[in-house]
Chain A
Amino acid sequence: MAKTFKQVLADAGISMDFEACGQSPREIIDREIKPEPHPRVAALKSIYMQSLSTANNEFPYWYTREYMANDSEIPVIRRARALKAAFSHLTPVIYPGEKLVMHKAHYFRGSFPMPWLSEGFYVAKEDELFQDALKRGSTSADEHSKFGSGGGNVVTSFNKVVSIAGKFGMRQEEIPALLKLARMWVGKSVDDLGHKYEQMCPDYDIKEKVMRNIVCMFDSGYTLPQGREVINYYYPLEYGFDGLIRMAREKIAEVAGNADGDGMVGMNRLYNYEAVILALQGIQTWILNYAAEARRLEAIEKDAAQKAEYRDIAQCLDWIAHNPPRTFREAFQMIETIHLGVLNEDAISGMSPGRIGQVLYPYFEQDIAAGRTTEDEVLELLELDRIVKTSIDCFASCGVVGGVLSGNTFNTLSVGGLDYYGNSAANRLEYLILEAGMSNPMPQSTIALLYDERLPDDFLMLAAQVIKTGCGYPAFMNNAGGIQFIMNQYAPEGMTPREARAWAIGGCLETSPGSWMPLHLNGKEYFIPGGSGQPTSVGIHFLALPKILELTLFNGQDQRTREQVLPPHGRKLATYDELWSQFKDYFQIVCRSLEKANNIQHDVWRKNNMAVFNSLLKPDCLAKGHLINELGYRYNATFNVESAGTANLINSLAALRKVVYDDRRATLEEVRTAILDNFGFKDAHDINSFSIADQQKRDDDNRQWDKLHFMLLQAPKYGNDDPYADSILRDWEEFFCDDCSNYMSLYGYPMYPCQISVSTHGAMGSACRATPDGRLSGTTFADASMSAYPGTDRNGPYALMSSATVWDHTRSQNSQLNIKIHPSAIRGQEGTKKLLDLSRAYMRKGGFHVQYNVVDTKMLRDAQAHPDQYRELMVRVAGFTQYWVEIGKSVQDELIARTEYEGI
Chain B
Amino acid sequence: MNLAYRDTREFVPVDADKGLDRLTGAMVSADSLAPAGYTRLPKCKFCSKYLESETNIGTCGASAHEPKFMAYGDMTAVTCEMFAD
Binding site for B on A (CB under 8 A): 47, 50-54, 56-58, 61, 65, 68-69, 88-93, 95-96, 106-109, 152, 154, 158-161, 169-177, 180-181, 289, 297
Which of B22, B57, B75 is most buried by chain A, counting CB atoms within 10 A of its CB? B75
User: A65 — which chain B residues lie within 8 A by C-beta?
Assistant: 63, 65, 69
A449 to chain B, nearest CB (A): 34
Report if A176-B69 is in contact (Cβ < 8 Å); known contacts: A54-B16, A65-B63: no
Pair B16/A169 contact, Cβ less than 8 Å? yes
Docked complex: B44-82 residues within 8 A CB-CB of A: 54-57, 63-65, 69-76, 78-80
Give the CA-CA distance A52 to B80 in the complex, in Å: 27
Q: How far is the CB of A299 from chain B (nearest CB, A)?
A: 12
CB contacts (< 8 Å) of B20 on chain A: these are 47, 95-96
Contact of A96 among B22, B54, B80 (CB under 8 A): B22
Name the residue on A nearest B42 (C-beta).
Answer: A91
Cβ-neighbour of B16 out of A52, A91, A93, A95 (below 8 A): A52
> When the two chains form their complex, are residues B76 and A159 in contact, meaning their CB atoms are under 8 A apart?
no
- Is the Cβ of A107 less than 8 Å from the Cβ of B75? no
Given contacts A88-B79, A177-B56, contact A54 B72 (CB under 8 A): no
Give the distance in Å from the alpha carbon of A56 to the alpha carbon of B22 in the complex: 22
Do A89 and B79 form a contact, CB below 8 Å, given A57-B72, A160-B31, A177-B57? yes
A176 touches B56 (CB 8 A): yes
Of all chain A residues, the one with the shortest Cβ separation from B31 is: A160
| B15-A108 in contact (CB<8A) | yes
Segment 9-51 of B: residues with Cβ below 8 Å from A? 12-18, 20, 22, 25, 27, 30-31
Give bound CA distance, A34 to B39, whole Å: 43
CB atoms of A177 and B70 under 8 A apart: yes
- Complex CA distance for A171 and B25, rounded to whole angstroms: 23
Q: Are B57 and A47 in contact (CB under 8 A)?
A: no
Q: How far is the CA of A571 from the CA of B36 in the complex (A)?
A: 80
Q: How far is the CA of A109 from the CA of B19 in the complex (A)?
A: 12
Partner of A161 from the list B17, B22, B57, B74 (CB cut-off 8 Å) is B17
Instruction: Decide if A61 touches B75 in the complex (CB within 8 Å).
Output: yes
**A-side contacts of B78, CB under 8 Å:** 91-92
Can you list 28 A-B pairs, Cβ within 8 angstroms, ordered by A? Answer: A50-B14, A50-B18, A50-B27, A52-B15, A54-B15, A56-B16, A58-B75, A61-B71, A61-B75, A65-B63, A69-B69, A91-B78, A96-B12, A96-B25, A107-B13, A107-B15, A108-B14, A159-B31, A161-B16, A169-B16, A171-B74, A173-B56, A173-B72, A174-B75, A176-B54, A176-B57, A177-B56, A177-B70
With A159-B31, A173-B56 known to touch, is A51 a contact of B14 (CB < 8 Å)?
yes
From B54, B64, B73, A69 is in contact (CB under 8 Å) with B64
Given the known inter-chain contacts A65-B63, A176-B57, please indicate yes or no for A95 contacting B74, CB distance below 8 A: no
Chain A residues closer than 8 Å to B72, beta-carbon distance = 57, 61, 173-174, 176-177
**A713 and B20 alpha carbons, distance in the complex (Å):** 56
- Chain A minimum-CB-distance residue to B39: A300
| Alpha-carbon distance between A51 and B19 when the two chains are bound, in angstroms | 9
Interface centre among A93, A154, A175, A181 (most CB of B within 10 A): A93
Chain B: CB-nearest residue to A173: B74
Partner of B55 from A50, A106, A176, A297 at Cβ < 8 Å: A176
Residues of B within 8 A of A108 (CB): 14-15
Given the known interface contacts A54-B15, A88-B79, A107-B15, the answer about A173 and B64 at a Cβ–Cβ threshold of 8 Å is: no
Residue with the highest number of chain A CB atoms closer than 10 Å, among B30, B54, B79: B79
Distance in angstroms from B51 CB to nearest chain A CB is: 14
Q: How far is the CB of A441 from chain B (nearest CB, A)?
A: 22
In the complex, chain B residues whose CB is within 8 Å of the CB of A160: 16-17, 30-31
* Shortest Cβ distance from A87 into B: residue: B79
Chain A residues whose CB sits within 8 angstroms of the CB of B69 once the complex forms = 65, 68-69
CB-nearest residue of chain B to A176? B57
Residues A52 and B17 in contact, CB atoms below 8 Å apart: yes
| Cα(A27)–Cα(B63), bound, Å | 66
**B contact residues around A47 at 8 Å (CB):** 14, 20
The complex places the Cα of A89 from the Cα of B81 at a distance, in Å, of 9
Taken together as a complex, chains A and B put the C-alpha atoms of A95 and B69 apart, in Å, by: 33
Q: Across the interface, do A180 and B17 meet the contact criterion of CB distance under 8 Å?
A: no
Q: Which residue of B lies closest to A89 (CB)?
A: B79
Contacts of B74 in A (CB 8 A): 171, 173-174
Q: How far is the CA of A56 from the CA of B75 in the complex (A)?
A: 9
Given contacts A57-B72, A159-B31, A173-B72, contact A93 B13 (CB under 8 A): yes
Residues of A within 8 A of B79 (CB): 88-92, 289
Bound: A92/B30 CA distance, A: 18
Which B residues are in CB contact (< 8 Å) with A174?
56, 72, 74-75
- When distances are taken between beta carbons in the complex, the residues of chain A under 8 Å from B64 are 69
- Which residues of chain A have C-beta atoms less than 8 A from B65's C-beta? 65, 68-69
User: Which of B16, B17, B18, B30 has most chain A Cβ within 10 Å?
Assistant: B16
Residues of chain B contacted by A106 (CB below 8 angstroms): 13, 76
A856 to B57 CA separation, bound complex (whole angstroms): 52
Q: Which residue of B lies closest to A296 (CB)?
A: B9
Across-interface contacts of B70 in A (CB, < 8 A): 177, 180-181
Name the residue among B25, B31, B71 with the largest chain A CB count within 10 angstroms.
B31
Chain B's nearest CB lies how many Å from the CB of A297? Answer: 8
Residues of B near A170 (CB, < 8 A) are: 16
Once bound together, how far apart are the Cα atoms of A172 and B6, in whole Å? 13
CB distance from A131 to the nearest CB of B (A): 13
Top 8 A-B residue pairs of the complex, sorted by shortest distance between their CB atoms:
A177-B72, A173-B74, A52-B15, A169-B16, A176-B57, A54-B15, A54-B16, A161-B16
- Most A CB contacts (10 A, CB to CB) among B56, B65, B71 go to B56
Query: Other CB < 8 Å A-B pairs besides A51-B15, A158-B17, A160-B17, 17 of them?
Result: A50-B14, A50-B27, A51-B14, A54-B16, A57-B72, A58-B76, A91-B76, A91-B78, A91-B79, A96-B12, A106-B13, A108-B15, A161-B16, A161-B17, A173-B72, A174-B56, A176-B55
